[in-house]
Amino acid sequence: MNWDQATQIFRQIESAAPNRGDLGKFKRDFLNAAIVYARVRTDWQLADLERRQEMDARRTQAHNAFIDACNILSRQMAKQDLDMSWRAALGSRKEIGDFACYIHSLLGLAAR
């Protein structure tokens, strides 16, 4: 996954999923899970080997939570007949984790 792909998928989600009601809650959960995982992944990158070993289970748990949030959001969007083709575009576990980091960056840039 690269910046352009991540931006396109993020924009697709932003335009298709409203920020209100139940879907808004699922979207917030999705964004929060991305932020948590991106933070854990960054901390893991900066840690030494011993600390990485201590953090490994937490990193996996955060990654799984983000994947779950992606799946939940896409299912909720499908129930409302909204475009959720973005989910298929995410691909492998690694790409999904990368996407969380892109979301973190995009949200940070939007907040300036």
* pLDDT per residue as tens digits for the range 3-52: 999 999 999 999 887 777 788 999 999 999 999 999 999 999 999 999 99
C-alpha distances (whole Å) from 84 to each of 8, 32, 70, 92, 109 are 13, 19, 10, 17, 24
Range of the domain at 46: 3-14+22-110
Gap between the Cα atoms of 96 and 41, Å rounded: 13
pTM for this prediction: 0.92
Task: Of 12, 31, 1, give the one whose Cα is nearest residue 95.
Answer: 1
What region does 2 belong to: left with phi over 0, alpha with psi -120 to 50, or beta? beta
What's the total number of domains in the chain? 1
